[in-house]
Structure 1
Amino acid sequence: MLSKQSRKTVAALVAGAFILAGVAGPLAVQAAPTVNDRPAYHQRHQVKPEQVAKRLAKEFGIEQSVIVKYQNQGKTNKDLVRAAFLAKASDKSFESVITLKTDNNTWQDVANTLGVDKTKLKAVRQEMAAKHLSQRLNIPQNDIQALFNQGYHQRDIAMAGLLASHSNKSLSDVLGMKKINNTWQDVSKELGVDLKALKQEMKQSHKTQENG
């Protein structure tokens, strides 16, 4: 099996070095997310407010000054991300969504008000993940989305793409090598790929995303 650090690095590439490295939380990460779950990287990464504002602005097309305004009002990173994600899922403005959240309701209540269910959240999460995986793996976004539609998980697509880039195999060929009774480490050995070197590349990719 992959080492603990390798699994963490894979998760960072797939879930998260994808946008907010520790801020994105459940809306952007889980296969069937709910809006009140505990973030996957809670307390593992400390992201500066200006980094959060910059990344949210870039990822969701929100004016950075608007995000800063709500940061100055004391909104947490989790609230900002959830509002941005629900705004995208509901095709509403960021400000109209974040103002729906009060001390007397939950983000699940806000999602219900907006008519956003798990299916919509999953669709947006997959769209965003496909975009980021496409950029990192140099694979057309539509091809990544097609793999999601076929039931492949983010981690498997990411691992297959990375192993394909280190071998003479196509993404589909590598995905086909992964069976229910083997691991990605087994696949990497079969391909003659140095998993340690692969892990280092993924670490560097994560650092680049965090500093971007």
Structure 2
Amino acid sequence: MFSTASRKAIAAFVVGAFILGGITIPLIAQAEATTEDRPAHHQKHRKLDPEQTAKRLSTEFGLDESLISKYQQEGKNDKDLYHAAFYAKVSGQSFESVLALKTETNTWKDVADTLGIDKEQAKAVRQELAAKRISLKYGLNQEDIQNLFNQGYQHRDIAMAGLLAKQSNQAIEQVMSMKKVNNTWHDVAAELGIDLKALKQEAGRNKHNPKS
């Protein structure tokens, strides 16, 4: 089992490591999400300019950047755009039709209910999107990552396994198999010849000095 200190250190590192073009992806928060109104993009947003937001939505959900730009020019905020993109993906409806369901008098939970989205559907899409992010982040096979989700592994553990797989040039399944109930990710890293503390410090330096 993790010690309290190890859990805090790993959680901070994993959350800090997952920044997609300026949008922080709190995988732990995703893993603990329990309602339909907490989609995969449920996250703390750094302020992006409209062009960056359009690019992220295009990458994440396969939407046309010009379509996103149109709604931005109409005054739609990032939160609504991300919610609409997520629920459109879950429900199989168009982005435009889902966005139109959100009014000033309802919530995104109401929209999810209208679309008939349940927790398991939302969870499956959250995992799919998380698998895609980890794959892009670490250059790993998305199907291998998705298989780990299907086996019941938690976001934070898959993220850490992905990080160590990249650093050690090992298959993510092999790295995951090294994590037992009686060891920590620091132990796994050490077994792979990786200094997780130094890696965390390097990630912190890169975060504050992205051009260095």
With structure 2 as the length reference, what TM-score do the two structures score? 0.79
Q: Paired residue for 1:10?
A: 14
Question: 1:142, CA displacement in angstroms?
Answer: 1.4
Residue 105 (structure 1) aligned with residue 111 (structure 2): no
Question: 1:139, CA displacement in angstroms?
Answer: 2.7
> Which of 23, 30, 46 does residue 21 from structure 1 map onto?
23
Alignment coverage as a number of residue pairs: 205
For 1:97 and 1:69, locate their aligned partners in 2 and report how far apart those are by CA, in whole Å: 15
Question: 1:154, CA displacement in angstroms?
Answer: 2.0
Q: Paired residue for 2:96?
A: 95
Aligned AA (2:90): A
For 2:130 and 2:142, locate their aligned partners in 1 and report how far apart those are by CA, in whole Å: 9
For 1:161 and 1:37, locate their aligned partners in 2 and report how far apart those are by CA, in whole Å: 24
Question: 1:46, CA displacement in angstroms?
Answer: 2.1
- Asked whether the equivalents of residues 19 and 59 of structure 1 are also in contact (C-alpha less than 8 Å), the reply is no
- Asked whether the equivalents of residues 36 and 108 of structure 1 are also in contact (C-alpha less than 8 Å), the reply is yes
Question: 1:171, CA displacement in angstroms?
Answer: 2.8
- Asked whether the equivalents of residues 133 and 158 of structure 1 are also in contact (C-alpha less than 8 Å), the reply is yes
Q: Paired residue for 2:161?
A: 160
Relative to 1, partners in 2 of residues 1:19 and 1:53: Cα closer, same or farther, differing over 3 Å? same
Q: Once structures 1 and 2 are overlaid, which stretch shifts more, 78-87 or 188-197?
A: 188-197
Relative to 1, partners in 2 of residues 1:75 and 1:87: Cα closer, same or farther, differing over 3 Å? same
Question: 1:105, CA displacement in angstroms?
Answer: 1.0
- Runs (5+) with no aligned partner, structure 1: none
SS at match of 2:168: coil
Q: Paired residue for 1:182?
A: 183
Aligned AA (1:77): D
Q: Paired residue for 1:67?
A: 68
- Asked whether the equivalents of residues 17 and 206 of structure 1 are also in contact (C-alpha less than 8 Å), the reply is no
Question: 1:194, CA displacement in angstroms?
Answer: 1.3
- Runs (5+) with no aligned partner, structure 2: none
Relative to 1, partners in 2 of residues 1:144 and 1:63: Cα closer, same or farther, differing over 3 Å? same
Stretches (4+) displaced over 6 A: 204-207
- Asked whether the equivalents of residues 32 and 118 of structure 1 are also in contact (C-alpha less than 8 Å), the reply is no
Q: Once structures 1 and 2 are overlaid, which stretch shifts more, 3-12 or 51-60?
A: 3-12
Aligned CA-pair RMSD = 3.3
1:5-24 Cα offsets, whole Å, 9 max, x none, are 763341244xx4246614x7
Q: Paired residue for 2:133?
A: 132
Q: How high is the sequence identity, in percent, across the aligned residues?
A: 50
Q: Comparing both chains, which one has the higher relative contact order based on Cα–Cα distances under 8 Å and sequence gaps of 6 or more?
A: 1
Aligned AA (2:44): H
